[in-house]
């Protein structure tokens, strides 16, 4: 049997191996070592095939949903750290979607990756959006909890923000690999034209894939 050890040349610290033979590592919150390309901030609304970002302007159905998506860049890996919904309507309450009652089918939020579709949430009400975000940002109290005033004219809004590290334990957020078919998708499966506003903003960063940085190609 062959044995080996990993030791830092400067500090003389050795890498640890657990009882299963796995190398112990720790997340640092930093890009991978050797990454010489600065991350580029990314901010974009989910949009349909025509680039429309206004999700309230559609009458979707379970049989014919309307898709709003964030797709990868051609050359850079795209990491989505947060998404923020804005649901605007007068006299909106948590039990409704906007102020038009709860939805019959709900808005479906999913992630297509490596040929697999991961369902993240089905939301039929304002509360479902707030719950997906873990109740963040939290403000207000009573019937006005989580609800911002005068967001669009005199209309109130719920503005839940989903932090993928906080909610799903993904320190880098959701990665959409450069040039891939991976996608973050919101499927509107009801007629939501009755609300004053509905959209979703994705934020994160883009960075060249590690193989491109090392000169190895893809």
**CATH number, domain with residue 65:** 2.60.120
Chain length of the chain: 218
Residue 24 covered by a domain: no
Domain count, the chain: 1
Task: Respond yes or no on whether the N-terminal peptide bond of residue 104 is cis (omega within 30° of 0).
Answer: no
101 part of a folded domain = yes
- Structure pTM? 0.81
Q: What angle do CA 115, 117, 123 make, to 5 degrees?
A: 165
Question: Closest Cα partner for 80 from 188, 214, 158, 185?
Answer: 185
Q: What angle do CA 63, 90, 84 make, to 5 degrees?
A: 60
Q: Say if CB 183 and CB 50 are below 8 A apart.
A: no
Strand partners, 203: 43, 82
- Mean pLDDT, contiguous 10-residue spans, the chain (218 residues): 63 74 61 64 96 94 97 94 97 95 97 93 97 94 88 93 95 92 97 96 90 43
The answer to whether residue 16 sits within a structural domain is no
């Amino acid at each position: 049997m062959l044995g080996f050890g990993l030791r830092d040349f400067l500090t003389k610290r050795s890498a640890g191996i657990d009882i299963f033979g796995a190398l112990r590592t720790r997340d640092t919150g930093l890009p991978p070592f050797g990454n010489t390309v600065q991350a580029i901030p990314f901010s974009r609304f989910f949009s349909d095939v025509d680039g429309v970002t206004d999700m309230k302007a559609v009458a979707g159905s379970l049989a014919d949903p309307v898709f709003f998506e964030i797709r990868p860049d051609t050359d850079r890996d795209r990491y989505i750290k947060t998404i923020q919904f804005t649901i605007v309507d007068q006299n909106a309450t948590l039990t409704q979607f906007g102020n038009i009652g709860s939805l019959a089918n709900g808005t479906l939020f999913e992630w297509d990756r490596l040929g697999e579709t991961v369902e993240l949430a089905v939301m039929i009400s304002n509360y479902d959006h707030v719950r997906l975000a873990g109740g963040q940002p939290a403000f207000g109290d009573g019937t006005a909890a989580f609800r911002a005033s005068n967001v669009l004219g005199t209309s109130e809004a719920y503005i839940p923000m989903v932090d993928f590290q906080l909610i799903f334990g993904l320190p880098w957020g959701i990665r959409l690999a450069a040039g891939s078919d991976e996608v973050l998708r919101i499927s509107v499966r009801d007629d939501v034209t009755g609300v004053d506003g509905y959209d979703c903003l994705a934020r994160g960063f883009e960075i060249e894939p590690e193989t491109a940085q090392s000169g190895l190609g893809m």
